[in-house]
Amino acid sequence: MKSDLNICIVDDDEIYKFTVVKILKSIGFDKNIMAFSDGDEAFDFITKNIENVKALPDVILLDINMPIMDGFQFMDEFVKINPRVGKKITIYMVSSSVDAKDVKKAASISEISDYIIKPIKRGELQNILEGLNKEIRI
């Protein structure tokens, strides 16, 4: 499947990022992948490119537990700038945490589309991205 999606992985686990990239390549979504090791790096990229919608991610796979700026801290900052972002960015919180507090907190943030427990499965990722790809093409 041809994909024009910009996919952003925000996670400090190098093995997880490697695995997700391999899955993305296997399902044909490997054209535009960016990866950051913490929320601060990702937020910095977004703010520097806020006027360049073609560079901004269409989807973010966001971990919770990271150094420097964790996923919830990233979301606190993202919510503030979201009205200035020139495109819809779909955000999935992807975490190994099964703590009900984390799930509830993520659900309370309207900019988070869903909470996914790691490891993300190939079929699950494929369904998400195919759906987003269709939305963007409409």
Is the Cβ–Cβ distance between 82 and 60 less than 8 Å?
no
Alpha-carbon distances of 129 from 15, 23, 46, 51, 100, rounded to whole Å: 21, 12, 20, 24, 26
Whole-prediction pTM value?
0.93
pLDDT band at 136 (very low <50, low <70, confident <90, very high): low
pLDDT for 137 equals 61
| Domains of the chain in sequence order | 6-137 (3.40.50.2300)
User: What are 30-88's pLDDT values in tens digits?
Assistant: 778 999 999 999 999 999 999 999 999 999 999 999 999 999 999 999 999 999 998 99
Instruction: For residue 37, give Cα distances in angstroms to 59, 74, 113.
Output: 16, 12, 21
The mean of the pLDDT values for the chain is 92
Q: Binning pLDDT at 50, 70 and 90, where does residue 130 land?
A: confident
Q: State both tokens at 49.
A: 């490119």
Decide: helix, strand or coil at residue 44. helix
Within the chain, residue ranges assigned H as helices are: 14-26, 39-48, 71-81, 100-107, 122-137
Amino acid symbol at 76:
D
Query: How large a percentage of the chain has pLDDT more than 90?
Result: 80
* Residues in contact with 136: Cβ distance below 8 Å, sequence separation at least 6, in sequence order: 4, 5, 58
* 7: three-class secondary structure by DSSP: strand
